[in-house]
Structure 1
Amino acid sequence: MFQDFLLENYHLLRALHILAFVAWMAGLLYLPRLLAYHHRFEPQTQAYETFSMMERRLLKIIMIPSMIAVFTLGLLLVCVPGVVDFHQHWFSVKFLLVLGLAGLQGFMSKCAREFSQGHPPYSEKFFRLLNEVPFVLLIGIVFLVIFKPF
């Protein structure tokens, strides 16, 4: 019965999964840029506090809910019969890259918390370089999904 529901709603689940992933990626690409700009201001200033609020809201309103949706919808899609063969290595690599994105979000969340406490953890240049990591992982994920190598 559950698998029938998944089969009947496969395209809807897939579309929602992609939309959630796009929202999550937007946050993953924007947060390190915010952290880089945040670094330019002194703690206890209005601008510094504004950046802390922006980072907190981005995480709580967009990134965390969309990440949860990505994983929930992804797990539902994996349950659709015939969609994923767990013996295909492309899926394992893709899943590891997605876990890498989740770990990256956790790391950036920790950095944003340290900023909000008045302790910028790394340099502006570090956050500018960190801004490229989600896109590199995205390239790997998209190519794995489209081409299904191995």
Structure 2
Amino acid sequence: MLWIKAIHLISVITWFAALFYLPRLFVYHAMAEDEISIERFKIMERKLYRGIMMPSFIITTLMGLWLLQSYAWEVYSSQYWLQLKLLLVVFLIIYHFYCGHLVSVFAIDKNTRSHTFYRWFNEIPVLILIGIIILVVVKPF
């Protein structure tokens, strides 16, 4: 079970690295004005999402579900910290797929949002990560 937990943590870290970096690319892409930069950002965004972010998400989810079922869901289902953590994970998954949508929007040159929007958008996974870490480590309830 420790190997599953280790793989889960490694994939979580990789997933979050991508979740932090992709919206930063959106910031720079929204600011870009020359065709060469715009095309470069499209490639970077696509490769990051498909090559790192999506595989990390899949491994994180599979290992997380494995851990959840192996630690007897009946015991943990009464732990409110876990329920709240799982809710934050659901929000993170929604954020993940919205990022994928934005990759598609940028790919067809249909972005209508400013770099300022993406600067704020980039902070969402930070807040979710802080919440998850506090819930898992402190277990406040």
TM-score, length of structure 1 as denominator length? 0.88
Partner of 2:30: 39
1:58 to 30, 39, 48: 48
Q: What's the CA shift string for 1:25-68, capped at 9, x where partnerless?
A: 0000001100000012237x111011011000000011001001
Distance 1:86 1:121 in 2: 42
Q: d(CA) in 1 for partners of 2:130 and 2:43? A: 30
Structure number with higher helix proportion: 2
1:94-133 correspondence runs (5 A): 94-133=85-124
What is the CA distance between 1:121 and its match in structure 2?
Answer: 3.1
**What is aligned with 1:5?**
none
Deviating beyond 6 angstroms after TM superposition, the runs of 4 or more aligned structure 1 residues are none
CA RMSD for the aligned pairs?
Answer: 1.4
Tell me the distance in 2 between the aligned counterparts of 1:27 and 1:149.
28
Corresponding residue of 1:134: 125
Question: 2:38 maps to what in 1?
Answer: 48
Segments of structure 1 that go 5 or more residues without pairing to the other structure are 1-9
Q: One-letter code of the match for 2:119?
A: R
Supply the distance in 1 between the matched residues of 2:69 and 2:98 (Cα, whole angstroms): 30
TM-score, normalisation: structure 2: 0.94
**Total equivalences in the alignment:** 140
SS at match of 2:41: helix
Residue 89 of structure 1: how far off its partner (Å): 0.9
Measured in 2, the distance between the counterparts of 1:39 and 1:49 equals 12
How far apart, CA to CA, are the structure 2 residues paired with 1:73 and 1:121?
37
Q: Are positions 1:22 and 2:29 aligned together?
A: no
